[in-house]
């Protein structure tokens, strides 16, 4: 009959015990009924409204959803220029995609032909169907972009260094899962765009055959065939592939993403929060009334003993001087980032419809058949050598990225943008070199062709080893080794290589998206394509 919890109340509600004033039970009942709405609200906030240090702290750590955050946040971490909110924005894009995806699941039917008709129904008939589908498509693309930008931010601020190496690895896994989500979702509309893009992707998965055929060992070890069969569930894209991709897209990969994301954010906590430069405290402006509320009393960090803290974690040994309560500072920042991401997705959804071409027709290939945009740089390399573009170079890139935290063991410049020996200079030079080499190499190959145009009898193995992709990789590797020597720093070499990789990725993707037309020939503009 009483409305309070067992004794504890941070708010100072009048504790209800027995009623000594002798009111009747019915009167008490009426009184409680009248007070029920306010009691409901108060019971939802177990620690009461966050108005004191203690209640602000309790607001965070006693909430299931919020306690993944730390109670106190360093002021440096809250600056826009530190992270630009990219990680939160990527998570926000994921959340938007998740919610709109679940809504779409009410109407989408994952069998060939019926899938396409259900997409038409969603677009034309289902209330808000067109809008929700557009949001879903755009949020997915926005998520991929944000994840890539987030990776670049983490790299350039050297936030992968000890003890955060494994979080970087988890981040790479998250990147792969994100690309996997986008790729599996691409097939679901079952239109010409979807069908042929996934056919391209599956054939790229089959690309090890180029190597095993050239070596003559395909009948012994057909890695390409195995990969393609695993991916498609059949020899070609069909009913099996659709079910498989649907399962991956709505269940397996989202679960994997949520689990990995939880580990990722937990590790940020355990690593002591976001990376800061060693002199971050000195560089922060003094606390002004505008930065209130702040902690007014020295904390009793009793919860700190829940973790064994090793020596180098930045939080150890520092006082709380530059830490502010997560509630409200961090949460307002996160909410702002979240809302702006949502706004961007909504705006894009209203401006441009998600594409839907004709019903998938295995007898009529798209020409050009293009993979999703984030794979078009890869497809451009595949057009020179299937194995190198499809497996070789991507593996090298992923391996290189994974190894960065283990190769760069320096400490200078952690937490700074372009921190470390070389700094902005090496990044600028690498950007120049990276752009220049990829543009020149592509221009050469487009204008003059490559080995087979000059010597038609040349063996495939030669082209597999020497093609614009491998040449570019070699150039970038040489350049980064030069940077290591020149600046006497592994970090400088890492920055050189990463910047070159970014430049190459962007240029190759732009070429694949815009400048390649039917038969993968070069055209200055889609309006030049024959027959269009």
Partner 1 sequence: MHSRANKILLLVSSLAALALLGSAAVRENWLQEWKRIQRSYAKALPPESRRDFRVQLRQIVVPRLRVSDRCVSCHVGMAPGEQGISGDRVLSKHPNVHHDPADIGCTVCHGGQGRATESAAAHGDVSFWPEPMIPAGQAYAGCGTCHTHLAVPSMARLEQGRALFERSDCLSCHRLDGRGGTMRTGAAGGMEGPDLSRAGAVGFDEKWYGKHVSRSGEPAAAVWRGAVRSLSQDDQQALDIFLSSRVGAPGLIEAKALFHSLGCRCCHKVGGIGGDDGPDLTRVGQLDPGRLVFDHVPGERTVQNYLAEHFRAPGKVVPGSLMPSMGLSETQIEALNLYMFSLRRSELPEAFWPKDRIRAERFGAREFASDGATLYGAFCAACHGADGRGMRYAGMPPFPAIGGRDFLSIASDSFLAVTIRSGRPGRRMPAWGSPGGPFSESEIDGIVRHIRGLGEGTPFAGDSGPRRWIVADAIRGESLYKANCSLCHGPGGEGGEGPALNNQVFLSSASDLYLLETIRGGRGGTSMTGFASGTNVSSALAPSEIEQLVAFIRTWEVKQ
Binding site for partner 1 (CB under 8 A): 75, 78-80, 117, 120-121, 124-125, 127-128, 131, 191-192, 290-291, 324, 328-329, 332-333, 335-336, 339-340, 342-343, 346-347, 350, 356-358, 364, 530-531
Q: Which is nearer to partner 1, 51 or 125 (CB)?
A: 125
Taking the complex as a whole, the smallest distance from the CB of residue 86 to partner 1 amounts, in Å, to: 16
Q: What is the DSSP letter of 360?
A: P
Q: Which is nearer to partner 1, 81 or 302 (CB)?
A: 81
CA dihedral 197, 200, 202, 205 (to 10 degrees): -130
Q: Which is nearer to partner 1, 125 or 278 (CB)?
A: 125
Q: Which is nearer to partner 1, 129 or 423 (CB)?
A: 129
Taking the complex as a whole, the smallest distance from the CB of residue 55 to partner 1 amounts, in Å, to: 17
Q: Are 81 and 417 in contact (CB under 8 A)?
A: yes
Q: Which is nearer to partner 1, 355 or 449 (CB)?
A: 355
Given the DSSP bridges, would you call strands 72-74 and 323-325 parallel, antiparallel or unpaired? antiparallel
Taking the complex as a whole, the smallest distance from the CB of residue 205 to partner 1 amounts, in Å, to: 27
Polymer length of the chain: 532
What's the count of helices (H) and strands (E) in the chain, helices before strands? 22, 2
Rounded to an integer, what distance in angstroms lies between the CA atom of residue 383 and that of residue 203?
12
Taking the complex as a whole, the smallest distance from the CB of residue 519 to partner 1 amounts, in Å, to: 15
Q: Which of 100, 273, 118 is nearest to 189 (CA)?
A: 118
Q: Which is nearer to partner 1, 330 or 472 (CB)?
A: 330
Q: Which of 171, 173, 149 is nearest to 160 (CA)?
A: 171
Taking the complex as a whole, the smallest distance from the CB of residue 172 to partner 1 amounts, in Å, to: 30
Q: Which is nearer to partner 1, 171 or 273 (CB)?
A: 273
Long-range residue pairs from 432-438, CB within 8 A, at least 24 positions apart, any chain: 433/479, 433/496, 433/500, 434/476, 434/479, 434/499, 434/500, 434/501, 434/502, 434/503, 434/504, 435/503, 435/507, 437/472, 437/475, 437/476, 437/500, 437/504, 438/472, 438/503, 438/504, 438/507, 438/508
Q: Which is nearer to partner 1, 70 or 207 (CB)?
A: 70
419 contact partners, CB below 8 Å, separation of at least 6: 156, 157, 158, 277, 412, 413
277 contact partners, CB below 8 Å, separation of at least 6: 76, 283, 413, 414, 415, 416, 419
Q: Which is nearer to partner 1, 282 or 290 (CB)?
A: 290
Angle (CA) 338 344 345, round 5°: 90
Rounded to an integer, what distance in angstroms lies between the CA atom of residue 247 and that of residue 165?
32
Q: Which is nearer to partner 1, 143 or 388 (CB)?
A: 143
Rounded to an integer, what distance in angstroms lies between the CA atom of residue 512 and that of residue 204?
15
Taking the complex as a whole, the smallest distance from the CB of residue 280 to partner 1 amounts, in Å, to: 12
198 contact partners, CB below 8 Å, separation of at least 6: 183, 186, 187, 237, 241, 245
Q: Are 175 and 347 in contact (CB under 8 A)?
A: no
Q: Helix, strand, coil proportions of the chain in percent (round to 5)?
A: 65, 0, 35
Place of tokens 């991507």: 394
Q: Which is nearer to partner 1, 307 or 350 (CB)?
A: 350
Helices 223-232 + 239-247 axis angle, to 10? 80
Taking the complex as a whole, the smallest distance from the CB of residue 341 to partner 1 amounts, in Å, to: 9
Taking the complex as a whole, the smallest distance from the CB of residue 358 to partner 1 amounts, in Å, to: 5
332 contact partners, CB below 8 Å, separation of at least 6: none
Q: Which is nearer to partner 1, 505 or 529 (CB)?
A: 529
Place of tokens 């372009």: 418
Place of tokens 């919020």: 66
């Amino acid at each position: 009959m009483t409305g309070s919890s067992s004794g504890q109340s941070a708010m100072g509600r009048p504790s209800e015990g027995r009623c000594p004033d002798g009111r009747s039970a019915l009167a008490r009942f009426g009184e409680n009924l009248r007070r029920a709405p306010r009691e409901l609200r108060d019971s939802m906030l177990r620690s009461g409204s966050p108005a004191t240090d203690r209640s602000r702290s309790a607001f965070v750590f006693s909430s299931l959803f919020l306690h993944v955050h730390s109670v106190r946040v360093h002021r440096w971490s809250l600056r826009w220029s530190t992270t630009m909110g990219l990680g939160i924005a990527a998570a926000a894009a994921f959340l938007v995609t998740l919610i709109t995806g679940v809504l779409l699941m009410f109407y989408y039917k994952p069998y060939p032909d019926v899938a396409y008709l259900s997409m038409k129904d969603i677009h034309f008939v289902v209330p808000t169907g067109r809008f929700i589908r557009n949001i879903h498509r755009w949020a997915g693309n926005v998520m991929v972009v944000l994840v890539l930008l987030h990776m670049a931010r983490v790299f350039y601020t050297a936030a992968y260094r000890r003890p955060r190496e494994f979080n970087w690895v988890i981040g790479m896994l998250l990147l792969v899962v994100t690309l996997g989500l986008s790729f599996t979702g691409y097939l679901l509309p079952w239109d010409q765009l979807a069908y042929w893009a996934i056919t391209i992707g599956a054939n790229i998965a089959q690309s090890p055959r180029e190597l095993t055929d050239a070596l003559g060992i395909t009948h012994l070890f057909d890695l390409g065939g195995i990969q393609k069969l695993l991916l498609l569930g059949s020899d070609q894209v069909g009913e099996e592939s659709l079910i498989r991709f649907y399962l991956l897209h709505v269940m397996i990969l989202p679960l994997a993403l949520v689990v990995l994301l939880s580990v990722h954010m937990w590790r940020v906590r355990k690593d002591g929060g976001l990376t800061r430069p060693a002199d971050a405290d000195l560089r922060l402006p003094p606390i002004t009334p505008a930065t209130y509320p702040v902690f007014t009393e020295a904390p009793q960090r009793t919860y700190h003993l829940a973790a064994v803290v090793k020596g180098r974690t930045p939080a150890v040994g520092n006082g709380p001087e530059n830490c502010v309560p997560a509630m409200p500072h961090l949460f307002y920042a996160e909410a702002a980032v979240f809302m702006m991401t949502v706004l961007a997705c909504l705006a894009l959804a209203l401006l441009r419809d998600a594409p839907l071409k004709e019903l998938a027709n295995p007898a009529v290939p798209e020409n050009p058949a293009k993979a999703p945009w984030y794979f078009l740089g890869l497809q451009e390399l595949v057009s020179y050598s299937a194995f190198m573009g499809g497996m070789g170079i991507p593996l090298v890139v992923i391996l290189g990225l994974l190894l960065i935290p283990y190769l760069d063991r320096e400490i200078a410049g952690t937490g700074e943008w372009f921190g470390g020996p070389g700094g902005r200079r090496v990044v600028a030079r690498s950007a120049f070199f990276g752009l220049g080499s990829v543009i020149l190499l592509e221009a050469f190959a487009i204008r003059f062709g490559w080995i087979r145009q000059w010597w038609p009898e040349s063996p495939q193995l030669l082209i597999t080893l020497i093609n614009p992709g491998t040449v570019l990789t070699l150039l970038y590797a040489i350049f980064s080794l030069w940077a290591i020597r020149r600046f006497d720093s592994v970090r400088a070499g890492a920055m050189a290589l990463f910047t070159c990789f970014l430049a190459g990725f962007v240029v190759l993707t732009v070429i694949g998206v815009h400048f390649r037309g039917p038969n993968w020939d070069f055209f200055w503009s889609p309006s030049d394509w024959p027959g269009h």
